[in-house]
Each structure stands twice: as structure tokens, then as C-alpha cells.
Amino acid sequence: MTTATNDTPGRRGFRAGWVFAAIWLFYLGENLQAILDHPAGMWRDVGLAALILFALTYVWVVGAMRRDRRDLPYPQHVLPIWVSLAAMAGLALLQIPAAGSSVLTCAVYISATAVMGLPLHQGLAFAVVVALTVEVVIRLVPGWHAVSQGYALAVVLAAAATWGMRLALERQSRLIQAQFELAELAVAGERSRIAADLHDILGHSLTVVAVKAELAQRLLDVDIERARAELADLEALSRDALADVRATAMGMRGISLPGEIAAAKAALTAANVQAELPGAADDVPTRHRELFAWTIREAVTNIVRHSRARHAEVRLSPNSVEIIDDGQGSTGGDTPGQGLAGLRRRADELGAHLIAGQRGDRPGFRVRVEIPS
């Protein structure tokens, strides 16, 4: 059985098991009194030592079983339990010369230990054998039948109570395990969300930064003032991207539909794409705005990065948003696209329908998200 340091859950579980087992030792008081009433001599000393060792063995085994039950329905190694049961039976037999029929109390502890520690079918079968053995011994040993009625029933009741306790502990263990698994799934889901958000944020921001840097480089020999303006925009975009990343990591990032429309205008202008954008987003319900903002961000990022389009249009209505261009479509390395996959996931969460693909009426690409009324 494993060991643990004093501040580990395993050690705390062992302490709880030790206390739980020690509580029930007061039933051995009858054995102790019978041994102490026996005339002084070897058998009295042997009986007293056997009783103490029996109690210590019981406390140790039950405490260890409750510790190991954190991970298993019963201890990993069944053999040590059988050895412990045999030792407890032998210690009980050594008490007979001094304790007499009072030693039958030990049968209750032995059967309870078996039901708690052994595989359930073995433990229950062992308890039945112990109960039958007690009943037979009572009838065969002269003088025990008159003073030992009810011990077999006590063995059966102790086994039944321990069985119920074991089932409760196993259910509790499964519940704790389920809680751990749910917590792990929640962590994994949050990591996936942050990863998707970082991809969307950085994919858009870095694409615009790259386009503006290229434009600024070309303007250095043509229009120095405009080049400076583009460099200033680069600084602002970099700061905004950094702020978005920090906010995403803390789970506080929000996204604005009007802000994404303005960002789309800046990105398309920097990429020399003629853009037709809605002037306002007031007609869009609040519950739709975040999804529509993500749609515009992802579609515009793909236009700037992949499409080589000359013209793009964003069409916005209360229940839909559509971005179309006249380029060659999303043929870059992101096809079918982590960004589009993340967008599809967001749309599915809100019951929206996403269409992304080539336009049917003319060359170009279309991204459309529609939310049923």
C-alpha cells in the first residue's frame, strides 16, 4: 500500500480511517473484561497481548483500506487483506483460553473487514462462512450456547451495514471522480476557447499589421507623411492587439460590431480593396452583435490575406451578415480554416447557419451567417 507525507490527501484519508476504525473498538470491552477476570497466568497474558494486537491490526487494515479507496473500489492487492484476516482469526483464537465465549465478538470485526476490503462477492461469501462458523461453534462448545445467543446475527448485521457503507463510499468516490473529470473538461474547453480567440485576434491584427507595414514601406519614397500615418496606425494596431490578447487570457475580452466595421474599413483600405460597408449597426439585436462582429473580422481577414480581391461588400441586416468579394477565395493555408472552423462553432452555439464558399453568380467568395427569426 502506498505511503504519503503528512500533508497529503492520502495521509489525511488514512487518519480519517484510523479514527473511524478506532471508534468501534469499544465493543471489544467485553473481551477485555473477560480476559482481566481470568486468573493471572500465561493464558491471561497471551489473551491480553492477542487482544491488543487484534485491535491494532483491525485499525491498521481498515484505515489503509479507506485510504486506498480513493482510487479503487477495494485495495489493489487482495492478498494482504486475506493475510490480515487470517492474522485476526489467529489472534482471536489465542484469546479463547482467557476470554471464553466473549471472543466471538471478534467475528463481527473480521466479517466487517472482509466485506469492506475484499472484492464484494468474496467479502459477502466470507461473511456468510463466518456467521455459519459462529453458529456451529456456539452449538458444539459446551456452555457457549446458553450465553452466546445472537452472535451469528450480529455478524450478519455487521456485514450488511458494512456493505451499505461500502456502497455509499464507492458512490461518493465515483461522484468525486466525475467532478474531477468535469473540471478537467471545463479547463480543456476554456483552453480551446482561448486558443480559438487568440487565433482570431492575432490572425486579423497581424494580417492588417503586415499589410500596413508593406504599404508604409512603399510610401517611404513617395509620400513620407502618409507613410508616417501608416506607421502610427501600426503602433496603434499593435497596442490594440496586445490589449486584446491580455484581455482574452483573463477571459474579459469583448468584441464590438461597430468597432469591427470600422476595423474592416481600415484593413480593406490598407489592402487597396474598395469596400462597401454599412454605416450603422443599430438595427442588429444585441444578442446577434458579437457573432456578426466575429463574422466580419474573420471574413475581412481572409479577404486581405488570401483573396486578392479588388472589391468587397458587407451586407448587414437584423438577422444576417454577409461579406462578399470578387477575389479568388480563401485559398491560403487556412483552408478549410481554423478561423472559419471557430466561426462555425460560434454560429452553432447560437443556432445560426454559416455559409462559406465560392459565389454562384460570379467569381468571388462569400461568407454568410444567418440566425433564424
Q: Which comes out higher in pLDDT, residue 259 or 332?
A: 259
Confidence at residue 328, expressed as pLDDT on a 0 to 100 scale: 76
Distance between CA atoms of residues 163 and 173, nearest Å: 15
Distance between CA atoms of residues 163 and 169, nearest Å: 10
Per-residue pLDDT of 92-129, as tens digits, reads 899 888 888 888 888 888 998 888 888 888 888 888 89
Confidence check: pLDDT of 316 > 90: yes
Mean pLDDT of 212-223: 82
Confidence check: pLDDT of 6 > 50: no
For the entire predicted model, the pTM comes to 0.46
Confidence check: pLDDT of 255 > 60: yes
Non-local CB neighbours of 297 within 8 Å, separated by 6+ positions = 200, 204, 255, 260, 263, 264
Q: At 332, is the pLDDT very low, low, confident or very high (cuts 50, 70, 90)? A: very low
Q: At 312, is the pLDDT very low, low, confident or very high (cuts 50, 70, 90)? A: very high
Q: What angle do CA 339, 340, 343 make, to 5 degrees?
A: 90
Confidence at residue 148, expressed as pLDDT on a 0 to 100 scale: 61
Per-residue pLDDT of 146-201, as tens digits, reads 566 677 888 888 888 888 888 887 787 776 677 677 667 766 776 776 676 666 66
Average pLDDT of the chain to the nearest whole number: 78
Confidence at residue 330, expressed as pLDDT on a 0 to 100 scale: 53
Sign of torsion over alpha carbons 98, 100, 102, 107: positive
